[in-house]
Amino acid sequence: MKRLNSFIVGLFISLLSLPIFAQTVNEFPNPDDPLHVRVAMYDALMRGNHNNEGVFMQHVIFPPVGVEKPLVGSQEDCLEITGAMMAAYCYRYGVTKKPEHREQCHEILRGLVKMEKVTGVPGVFARSFNKTDKPLWHESQHFFTIEWHESTSMPGYRWEGDLSSDKFVDICYMLSVYYDMAADEEGKKIAAGLIDRFVGRVVDHNFKLVDVDNKMTLWGNFCPDLPHQALNSLEILAALKTAHRMTGKDRYHEAYRMLIEKHHYDDEAIMAKVIWPEMWNVIWDDKLACKSFWQLFGHEKDPSLLNKYTMSLNRHQYSWANSKYERIGEIWFPMVYSVLTGENVVTEKTIEAIKNMQEMERRTRKFPVTQADGSVKMVEAQDENNAAQLIRNYWFGRYYGFIDASW
């Protein structure tokens, strides 16, 4: 009887602890840990729980909901998170010069190669992928079901399509930083090939991101013949500048000049920041502009164009200067502005925000899991968001001297 009781208690404890021990890394930093300790622990959590074959997941839901491994969650923005991790690792390599840190940059590049390979169409990138041969329950929970595809080029994988202009920026930005900071000869060749196929396909389709159904994706419009937002003009100019720089192909420079001379994309780019109405003054546009500025400044030598890009950057800074740093991504902006313009706008308030950066959390929630018979069952599980921007902010700040290693 005693043995049976022990068995029942043991089983109960095992069941209770199942969702907790299913994760690879479980240690979270304390808010009063030094910044460098917090960053190292967040990084361990990201690498342990969010790494999906080189691509970083924005959000993971753990078993019993997240099938056999903790890699299932909303996946629309994985490229943003992957891009932030690529930048973080590139700047970390710039600081440490350790080969293992450089290898982690190569690992992300290999993940990006897979994001193209899984679609089976050169130049078409997935938003994300999962190693599974059947649809996962969350495909219909988080985004439009129609955008998930079974891979024919990588059997046993499913991938999410409908790439947006946002992810277009993320891909160009991360390849650009990798190329400049961490790539060896082989890496440069791979990165140049990726951007050539990716941006080349957009140019070939009259500056549209065209999906596998031959239609422009829901957000993939840089086309001069279609109405488009000023931010998209800035984004395509940045991408063409990067593609030209990395491939050396004149077609990208010619496309860049054509959009400027014939369609005035440089003038449109000045207005990339929507300052009013307030509801459209949004941080996600700021992040995209920031990554685009990064690709243009330092590589554009024409003073007239640089003046216009600086005007656009200043319109952004007008808004950023009032930031309360309520979102972690905002902390990056003054550092970028300072590096690009040489005018230090990193204030005491910014430093305080940097020192206090906290981001990741794990929660227990109930998820509506669709069962095999089509019914929906509420299942309790833990999920975890990511710390990619925090880690990127940290290593960017370390590399450019805004952050002291002892903090």
Partner 1 sequence: MKTIVYTLLGLFISLNALAEQKSEIPSPHKGMVYVPAGEFIMGSDVGDADESPKHTASTGEFFIDEYEVSNTEFKKFDPNHTYRKDRENHPALVTWDQANAYAKSIGKRLPTEKEWEKAARGTDGRLFPWGNTYDLTFVQYNRSQGIAQTIAKPKSPYGCYDMAGGAMEWVQDWYNPYPGNDVPSDKYGKKFKVLKGGQAFNDVSHMRCAHRFYLPKDDRNNYLTGFRCAKDVKR
Q: Which residues bind partner 1 (CB under 8 A)?
A: 140, 143-146, 165, 213-216, 218-221, 223, 225-229, 232, 274, 277, 279-280
Tell me the closest approach of the beta carbon of residue 217 to partner 1, in angstroms: 8
With respect to partner 1, which residue has the nearer C-beta, 228 or 244? 228
Tell me the closest approach of the beta carbon of residue 147 to partner 1, in angstroms: 8
Q: What residues contact residue 16 under an 8 Å CB cut-off, 6+ apart?
A: none
For residue 72, which of 393, 392, 379 has the smallest C-alpha distance? 379
Give the tokens for residue 140. 């219909």
With respect to partner 1, which residue has the nearer C-beta, 41 or 239? 239
Long-range CB contacts (within 8 A, 24+) of 396-400: 396/87, 396/88, 396/91, 396/332, 396/335, 396/336, 397/335, 397/354, 398/91, 398/92, 398/95, 399/91, 399/92, 399/94, 399/95, 400/335, 400/338, 400/339
With respect to partner 1, which residue has the nearer C-beta, 143 or 400? 143
With respect to partner 1, which residue has the nearer C-beta, 49 or 232? 232
Tell me the closest approach of the beta carbon of residue 77 to partner 1, in angstroms: 14
With respect to partner 1, which residue has the nearer C-beta, 128 or 232? 232
Amino acid (one-letter) located at 317:
Q
The string of DSSP codes covering 318-363 is HHHTT----SGGGGHHHHHHHHHHS-----HHHHHHHHT-----EE
Tell me the closest approach of the beta carbon of residue 276 to partner 1, in angstroms: 9
Tell me the closest approach of the beta carbon of residue 296 to partner 1, in angstroms: 22
Tell me the closest approach of the beta carbon of residue 224 to partner 1, in angstroms: 9
With respect to partner 1, which residue has the nearer C-beta, 104 or 233? 233
Please give the distance of CA 302 from its chain centroid, rounded to a whole number. Answer: 30
Please give the distance of CA 60 from its chain centroid, rounded to a whole number. Answer: 15
Give the tokens for residue 399. 């590399």
